Structure 1
Amino acid sequence: MALLSLLDICVNFGGPAVLDHLNLQIEEGERVCLLGRNGAGKTTLMRIAAGEMAPDSGVITHHEGVTQARLTQEIPHHLPGNVQSIVESGLRTDSLEEEWERDVRVDSLIERLGLDPEKAFDDLSGGLKRRCLLAQALAAKPDLLLLDEPTNHMDLESILWMEEFLLEEKIPLLFVTHDRAFLRRMANRIIELDRGKLMSWSCDYDTYLVRKDELFIAEERQKAAFDKKLSQEEAWSRRSPGARRTKSNARMEALKVLRQVRADMRSVTGAAKMEISNADRSGERVVEAENIEFSYGNDQKVIRDLTLRLNRGDKVGLIGPNGAGKTTLVKMLMGQLEPTGGNIKFGTKLEVVYFDQMRGLINDDLTVAENLAGDSDTVEVQGRSRHVISYLQDFLFEPTRARSKAKVLSGGERNRLLLARLFTKPANVLVLDEPTNDLDAETLDVLEDLLVEYKGTLIIVSHDRDFLDNVVTSTLVFEGNGIVTEHAGGYTDWRNEVERIANGKRAQPIAAKPNAAPEIKPVAGKSSKLSNKDRQDIVELPGKIAELEAEQSKIAVQLADSEVYKNGGALFAELQKRLQAIDAEHHAAMQRWLELESRKG
């Protein structure tokens, strides 16, 4: 059953169409992730799907009786009431439930999300506000849940809880996220908004990345072939004296069509080009903390007896619940806050630059360019002067966007502007507080590569598990009660270490019986003997899998052709249906082949 259908949706804000005859259908059981570049129109599409905004044209259909709720990207300011009242406001007024059932659900959500029901919403941290708003959205028991950057400002514990909760509840989802670990775990379908069009991929994220590369290559080849044809026709029209005679009219009309098609083509936005303004090298020792502690005037210590040394080139990630003291530790390591116990020594020649999580450095009343360069037309990067508009293009701001007021920027664009500001400042120590919020996947990849190559020292606070795994060399984990432990590697290395320790403890009673023979239990229903049918399958399946993958690639090439989207998108729908069938066949074939291989031994 289709929970939501969007047909031929168009939205235009004066430039190229943001949504260009877009079609989307979401079925029961689907968890759909919406991807796209910052500013591509993802939030616009989410608002239309939620009924908060009307498109310029098109039809929106909700199945009768289907309810939906939305968690927005931005946290509302000055929302009156306490946590209890905010969550209760999400309850449906037309529900037939008994009042006690509604009360139980609200209390359960508040408890499971670790919230204080009496706490005023405005007094909560950014992460706790996010949890409260999620509870509000879930209170209505929606048939379809729309989530716009749900992991923003959430700590890892809350994110992991949310993943488990949403999977257990089996709530159909339409969501936007920059968190690739969340995306990998949650999405069973991916849709991508690119140049006003929507492409659907019925697969996991890693398979999508492979197919996306294939599609990009096919699109570039098609574009090159089109340009060659157009060039040939233009040359013919110039050198042929009779090009405008009656016999040639048809060819000239065809040339006009080619020109118009080329003019309407929208190229893929290039990748961001970032570079850090490096300061002179710091000394070998950056900061050394010995038995430091911190408390805010009460008996509860935020940091307890921490000894730590950071050397030049170290890349350290901080993980912990909201309110655990991560920002407090960062400020102490930056020299902005004195510890209440212990001492900190700082190295020489330190040039520290701080990336602010709350984006308080951006003035909404100034243009993007003015936020970066003030009244000047130039900025200094890597010791050389650059025109501010040219520099902003490296961060994917087109000239018209660079001259727009900052208040119109999307969340991802605001983060890119902050990164542009950050990288103009010479630094040998970078402190990044949630730098990945709202960034698109391509910009995230570029930022990761840049930070991996960075020769200075990094201190990173992030809930983005993939980002930490790819960038940091060690991790500080806030365990609670002021205890901070240090671990080699990123998030996954830390989790593996915790699991190894836990498994070691559980294994001790078994190890006490060294002479006990291991018990071997046969797997029920899994005979190691292969039947004739099994042996035939094990020979034929690799060929079938290869054929399916070849057909996948062929369809990817077809989907790159603009002709597919004409006549109401009938061919597009047919190709998408076949692609979904191929996905199912490919998965079944792979599972069968792997099972037979394991049984073959």
Structure 2
Amino acid sequence: MALLSLQNVSLAFGGPALFEDVSLHVERGDRVGLLGRNGCGKSTLLRLIAGELKPDSGAVVCRQGVRIASLPQDVPADLTGTVYEEVLCGLGPVGQDLLRYHRLARLVRDGDESRLQALLESQQSLEASGGWPLEQLVGQVLSHLHLDGDVPVCDLSGGVKRRVLLARALVGEPDVLLLDEPTNHLDIDTIDWLESFLLRSSLTLLFVTHDREFLKALATRTVELDRGHLFDFACDYPTFLRRREETLHAEEQQWQRFDRKLAQEEVWIRQGIKARRTRNMGRVRELQRMREERLQRRNRTGKSRLQLQEASRSGKLVAELEGVCFGYGDKPVVKDLTTTIMRGDRVGIIGPNGVGKSTLLKLILGQLAPQQGQLRLGTNLEVLYFDQLREQLDPDATVQQNLSGDQDTVLVGGTPRHVYGYLQDFLFTPDRARTPVRILSGGERHRLLLAKLFTREANVLVLDEPTNDLDLETLELLEELLAEFSGTVLLVSHDRAFLDRVVTGTLVYEGEGRFVDYVGGYQDWLRQRPVPEPEPEPVAAKPAKPAKSKPERSRPRKLSFKERRELEGLPLRIEALETEQADLHEKLADPAFYKEQGDAVSAVRDRMTCLEEELAECFVRWEELEALAE
């Protein structure tokens, strides 16, 4: 039996059905990437699996005892207590025991000796239930997600609250983990850690993400939600892209053949009286069936038509910074920065959350004056700044009202356009344009923000995390748009693929306020960045009296004979494992395998998980032995 199954599930909210008779089976160890257009129902599907919603028909069936944890896209309003207390909720009863222990310990430290016996009993209970290793896991997760356990959750921003919810989901080590846009509001280092954590774990995953690198690293299956139906591709993301194109091409050809036949039958039914007297009633009934089938067809949503309104060209120089410094109190935010940005440059800014990337943007744009150094701005700069925190939407107003108020037209680059026509460029139908913003998906809200932004002219475009929640197709269109934009782009993003496809240079934070210039995108920076020097060994204190005998010189340990043989055999071992892995990938990508092999599918997936773990161990061991051999 599958770990969880959707069996002929249907669900609608008054309009076209989000799901029509869909089925899905998830086995233990699967890592399923769930894809689909913004607003197609991906988040709703995760809520169905989590038990937060009930289907109109069909059933969601879980194996007995299966534990499910989830990271929602929207932050609940009922989060209370400190970060540490909220994360402990993910551990269930053990988490409550840990919380009780720490509260008792705090009372005893404050002098309440009457609680000492209760503290000892709590400690024994945690030792019996295995609570201490889980507390260590909580500490590790909080550290890697850059969370302070003592801070009240109510004081945090929405993005940091999502990191708290992610930590709560991870520490519980559930059987099934549901993640809705897990990389939103995470910096690149944290995303790398999350990828490694999930790859090392044995968790079964269903996740929605716009991050293509994250998707490529994790997904062993790719499931697309399209026009109310689920299409299951038992393959990784790159293979899915190729197979989906083939599937859509075949569908289009099938529809063309159907439409040609329908047109012929419509001509036949309208022939003269003599033909009508002799017509075949079975053929008439077949025509009625074809008409109904054509009426029920749900065409694939078209592509967004994004277009930037370019202002007149700026001067050749956009900004020149020489020895620029800026800080708050004793904390340097930007230190001794020298760089030049020319017209047409597309600069990505990379760094952890909270290091001052937004401050750097304000310095480059002249919105902040440097405390030291020189800033020279170019001429004729028309700047558009995309920042979700600045471009607020009224949740109770409709999509149209947020864009044009009560007017039927909107000025786009100084030219009036009907608001419905303009919104259709961003995939909002007239019905959707009359919808309150509060019921839009995160990606649809993001598209609306882009629609507002692109009504204005610019020759300098500043994008602060523009990719959050966008579906993959709209993301690729935005990349094409920026590539064709003749102006200057300043981009803050943690999306590695987006950086590689858009920017021509990067400013990377390297600690203590230093931002360093690199040519190219994210992968180019990885190749160019300096290798961190190993920390020096601590120097032992000198003895009070020198020893009479000459001390032996410390020599690095050399490889033993057995280790040399192991090192020589590791490349062949890795090659054999990778060959087996490639063969299994090919087998899983073949639809016929699932029809002929039956229960063998689960065994192959289990072997794939073992292979990944063995390969990771081999590479770590190879690195250790190579270091000793140098």
TM-score scaled by structure 1?
0.83
TM-score (norm 2): 0.79
1:185 counterpart SS class: helix
SS at match of 1:318: strand
Aligned mates of 2:511, 2:160 — CA distance in 1? 17
Q: Is 1:496 matched with 2:548?
A: no
Q: Name 1:118's counterpart in structure 2.
A: 150
1:13 equivalent in structure 2:
13
Tell me the amino acid that sits aligned with residue 29 of structure 2. G
Alpha-carbon separation, structure 2, partners of 1:7 and 1:431: 46
Q: 2:201 and 2:403 mapped to 1: Cα distance? A: 45
Q: Is 1:266 aligned to residue 298 of structure 2?
A: yes
How far did residue 10 of structure 1 move? Answer: 0.5
Tell me whether 43-52 or 110-119 shows the greater mean CA deviation.
110-119
Structure 1: gaps of 5 or more residues? 506-518, 528-543, 557-571, 588-601
Q: Is 1:235 equivalent to 2:270 in the alignment?
A: no
* Per-residue Cα deviation, 1:538-565 (whole angstroms, up to 9, x for no partner): xxxxxx99x999x96xx79xxxxxxxxx
Report how far residue 32 of structure 1 moved.
0.2
Residue 289 of structure 2: SS of its match in structure 1? helix
How far does residue 115 in structure 1 lie from its aligned partner after superposition? Answer: 2.2
CA contact (8 A) 1:192 1:200 kept: yes
Give the corresponding residue for 1:199: 231
The separation in 2 between residues aligned to 1:577 and 1:465, in whole angstroms, is: 39
| TM-superposed deviation, 1:356 | 1.0
For residue 478 of structure 1, what is the aligned residue in structure 2? Answer: 509
- Whether 2:167 is the aligned partner of 1:135: answer yes
Map 1:336-347 → 2, pairs under 5 A: 336-347=367-378
- 1:254 maps to a residue whose letter is E
Cα distance in structure 2, aligned partners of 1:326 and 1:366: 32
Structure 2 match to 1:362: 393
Q: Name the aligned partner's letter for residue 209 of structure 2.
A: T
Please list, as runs of the form range in 1=range in 2, the aligned pairs for 1:420-499 lying within 5 A after superposition.
Answer: 420-498=451-529
Counterpart-to-counterpart distance in 1, 2:16 and 2:594: 24
Moved more, 448-457 or 345-354: 345-354
1:182 match: 214
* Alpha carbons 1:125, 1:322 under 8 Å: kept: no
Report the equivalent of 1:75. 75
Q: Does 1:42 align with 2:73?
A: no
SS, match of residue 438 in structure 1 = coil
**Superposed displacement of residue 382, structure 1:** 4.0
Give the Cα separation in 2 of the matches to 1:375 and 1:46.
36
Q: What does residue 320 of structure 2 align with?
A: 288
**Matched residue pairs, number?**
536
Counterpart check, 1:66 vs 2:66: yes
Flag the 1:580–1:390 CA change in 2: closer, same or farther, 3 A: farther
Sort the Cα spacing of 1:291 and 1:374 in 2 relative to 1 into closer, same or farther, 3 A. same
**Structure 2 SS opposite 1:90:** helix
Q: Which ranges of 4 or more aligned residues in structure 1 deviate by more than 4 Å? A: 242-247, 501-505, 519-527, 572-581
Q: 1:94 to 1:236 in 2, by over 3 A?
A: farther
Verify: 1:324 aligned to 2:359, yes or no.
no
1:327 maps to a residue whose letter is S
The reply on whether 1:216 has 2:252 as its aligned counterpart is no
User: Contact (CA 8 Å) 1:244, 1:252: kept in 2 or not?
Assistant: no
1:25 and 2:25 are equivalent in the alignment: yes
Give CA deviations for 1:339-364 in whole Å, capped at 9, x if unaligned: 33223221111110111133642111
Cα gap change, 1:480/1:98 in structure 2, threshold over 3 Å: closer, same or farther?
Answer: same
Partner of residue 569, structure 1: none
Which residue in the other structure is 1:516 paired with? none
Deviations 1:78-111 (A, max 9, x none): 7322211111122223898344344333233323
CA RMSD across the alignment: 3.1
Q: 1:126: how far off? A: 4.9
Distance 1:219 1:350, change over 3 A: same
| Percent identical residues | 50
Alignment partner of 1:168 is 2:200:
yes
Offset at residue 60 of structure 1 (A): 1.0
The answer to whether the 8 A contact 2:594-2:601 is kept is no
| Pair 1:242–1:480, CA change in 2 (3 A) | farther
Gaps of 5+ in 2: 96-127, 536-563, 574-582, 609-630
Q: Indicate the residue corresponding to 2:93 in structure 1.
A: 93
Q: Which residue of 2 aligns with 1:417?
A: 448
CA offsets 1:1-35 (integer angstroms, 9 cap, x no match):
52211101101122221100010111111100000
Q: Distance in 1 between matches of 2:152 and 2:353?
A: 17
Q: Is the 8 A contact 1:145 1:172 kept in 2?
A: yes
| SS of the residue 1:170 aligns to | coil
Is the counterpart of residue 350 in structure 1 residue 394 in structure 2?
no
Please name the residue that 2:281 is paired with.
249
Q: Whose Rg is larger?
A: 2
Cα deviation for residue 128 of structure 1 reads 3.6
Q: Report deviation, 1:483.
A: 1.1
Aligned residue number for residue 105 of structure 2: none
Q: Which residue is equivalent to 1:591?
A: none
Contact 1:351 1:429 in 2 (8 A): yes
Kindly provide the CA deviation profile for residues 19-78 of structure 1, in whole angstroms up to 9, marking residues without a partner as x. Answer: 000101111111000000001110110110111111111111111111010011123457
Letter in 1 for 2:299: S
Q: What is the one-letter code of the residue matched to 2:366?
A: G
What letter corresponds to residue 424 of structure 2 in structure 1?
Q
Kept in 2: contact 1:277–1:383 (CA 8 A): no
C-alpha change, 1:236 and 1:402, in structure 2 (3 Å) is same
Amino acid aligned to 1:321: P
What is the DSSP-based 3-state SS (H/G/I as helix, E as strand, rest coil) of the residue aligned with 2:200? helix
Aligned residue in 1 for 2:119: none
Distance in 1 (CA, whole Å) between partners of 2:475 and 2:164 is 28
Q: Secondary structure at the match of 2:280?
A: helix
Question: How far apart are the structure 2 equivalents of 1:260 and 1:62?
Answer: 36
